[in-house]
């Protein structure tokens, strides 16, 4: 037996997530079938499409369907707050990036190193197109003549005469 204790997976979890999980368990145990959900407006939904939920569901904040999600619920509430203050989408994005870092964004930005995320697939496609162009060009070129120049018969004249004579004799 190499491993002892069956809670090895818990080691990976951070303390913060453990606290959140504990709170979630308390809530769900208290209200096993009254499971709380958040109603959010189309404006909040639209604004939250720019962000990704941090609960490892990998969904945009607008799409996370987890009940009482420890990440999506407070983040949507925060967006609602920003919208109430009259902030624009751009300002909300800036505020979120300043607070949580670029990891909160659903897609890389179009600046700095992040630009590589967007450009690389198309650069690869362009490179592939160039390769295909050269492959087609090489494959469509006429085959080089193996010996001598094109006007020179490959079969020497004396052999040709001999072959023709033999063919005539056969006929």
**Site of interaction with other proteins (CB under 8 A):** 1-6, 9, 12, 24-25, 28, 32-40, 45, 49, 52, 56-60, 63-68, 101-108, 113-114, 116-118, 120-122, 124-125, 128-129, 132, 135-136, 139-141, 143
Minimal distance, residue 151 CB to other proteins, in Å: 23
Minimal distance, residue 34 CB to other proteins, in Å: 5
Nearer to other proteins among residue 83 and residue 106 (C-beta): 106
- 3-class SS at 132? helix
Among candidates 74, 86, 72, which has minimal Cα distance to 43? 86
Sign of CA dihedral 150, 153, 156, 157: negative
Minimal distance, residue 86 CB to other proteins, in Å: 23
Distance CA 77, CA 35 (A): 18
Nearer to other proteins among residue 118 and residue 159 (C-beta): 118
Nearer to other proteins among residue 145 and residue 163 (C-beta): 145
Among candidates 92, 96, 93, which has minimal Cα distance to 71? 96
Strand partners, 60: 52
Nearer to other proteins among residue 45 and residue 87 (C-beta): 45
Dihedral-angle region of residue 39 (phi above 0 means left; psi in -120 to 50 means alpha; beta otherwise) = beta
């Amino acid at each position: 037996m190499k491993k002892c204790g069956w809670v090895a997976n818990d080691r990976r979890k951070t303390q913060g997530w453990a606290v959140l999980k504990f709170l979630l368990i308390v809530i769900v145990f208290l209200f096993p079938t009254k499971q709380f959900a958040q109603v959010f407006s189309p404006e909040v939904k639209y604004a939250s499409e720019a962000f990704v939920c941090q609960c490892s569901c990998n969904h945009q904040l607008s799409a996370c369907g987890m009940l009482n999600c420890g990440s999506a619920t407070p983040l949507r509430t925060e967006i609602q707050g920003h919208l109430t203050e009259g902030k624009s989408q751009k300002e909300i994005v800036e505020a979120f990036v300043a607070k949580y870092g670029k990891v909160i964004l659903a897609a890389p930005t179009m600046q700095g190193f992040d630009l590589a995320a967007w450009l690389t697939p198309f650069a690869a496609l362009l490179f592939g197109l160039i390769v295909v162009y050269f492959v087609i060009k090489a494959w469509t070129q006429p085959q080089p003549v193996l010996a001598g120049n094109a006007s020179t018969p490959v079969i020497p004249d004396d052999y040709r005469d001999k072959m023709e004579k033999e063919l005539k004799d056969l006929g």
